[in-house]
Amino acid sequence: MMKEFEGKVVLITGGATGIGRATAIKFAEQGAKVVVADVDPRAEETVELIKKFGAEAAFIKTDVTKSKDTEAMVQFTIDTFGGLDVAFNNAGVLRTGFLTETAEEDFDLMIAVDLKGVWLSMKNELLYMKDNGGGVIVNTASEAGLVGTPAASAYVAAKHGVVGLTKTAAGEYANMNIRINAIAPGAIATPMVMEISEEERQVLMDPQPLNRLGQPEEVADAVLWLSSQKSSFVTGTTLSIDGGATSNAQSYSPVLSPKSI
């Protein structure tokens, strides 16, 4: 039986743990050859997990805030597996604190990784895709890219920017057989979230009608759908995967302490 992504080449940034790792594994299970790009050496563990079940994967250390690194990761993908069909721009960081408590270096870091990193990655992915028959790009925004979230002003600004980049680029490249969408995860049971206290996790879940943490695999399923022909008429959208949090009519945006996430 033909697997959904048989023969496809997929590039994933931020694939060391959590959503990135779960998505890399699911793509590989569906026949894709996967490149995992990250500054975190645990990305090599993701590659080894994929290789254990006989799929093909490779790791390249990449700082998405650097133009040369994002150029190199795309070229590495092409050189290693012969092309690039799907890119999942997932690398991101978060620092919390009210606006006046946010250090300039933390603001700069979040804008650099969460926004500029997506822009640089997209730029180099698109340079290849537009001249080679098209492709699909999925960007990781956040529920914080759709609503205001106290104690996360810089993160909110960066993630709103990802939503805007996605909409604009989708229109610019639609006639080149390239679809570009974003996901907006809410509170997901990633290693980062599981390290905080149960009380703090409940604060994250309180706005959600479903009142539970999402699983990385549930987000990964959405990324695969957006990357597949099943979503061939979908571009320029941001898909919320947040247990209903951003559609909740009740007061949204719990106040998080600087160490809550």
| Of residues 132, 128, 118, the one with CA closest to residue 168 | 118
**199: confidence class by pLDDT, cuts 50, 70, 90:** confident
Q: Is 155 a catalytic residue?
A: yes
Q: Which position among 128, 155, 173, 252 bears the catalytic label?
A: 155
Rounded to an integer, what distance in angstroms lies between the CA atom of residue 152 and that of residue 204?
Answer: 13
Residue 201: what pLDDT? 76
**211: confidence class by pLDDT, cuts 50, 70, 90:** confident
pLDDT in tens, 54-87: 999 999 999 999 999 999 999 999 999 999 999 9
Whether the predicted pLDDT of 259 surpasses 70: no
pLDDT in tens, 183-195: 999 989 888 778 7
What's the whole-number mean pLDDT along residues 233-259?
75
Residue 256: what pLDDT? 53
DSSP 144-165: GGTS--TTBHHHHHHHHHHHHH
Spell out the domains of the chain, with CATH numbers in brackets.
9-240 (3.40.50.720)
What's the whole-number mean pLDDT along residues 215-225?
97
**Structure tokens given for 136:** 């699909």
Residue 123: what pLDDT? 98
Q: How many CB atoms lie within 10 A of CB 218?
A: 16
Rounded to an integer, what distance in angstroms lies between the CA atom of residue 96 and that of residue 41?
Answer: 24
Radius of gyration from C-alpha coordinates of the chain: 17
Whether the predicted pLDDT of 198 surpasses 90: no
* Residue type at 41 in one-letter notation: P
List CB contacts of 135: < 8 A, sequence separation 6 or more: 84, 85, 86, 87, 125, 128, 129, 177, 178
Return the percentage of the chain with pLDDT > 70, whole number: 95
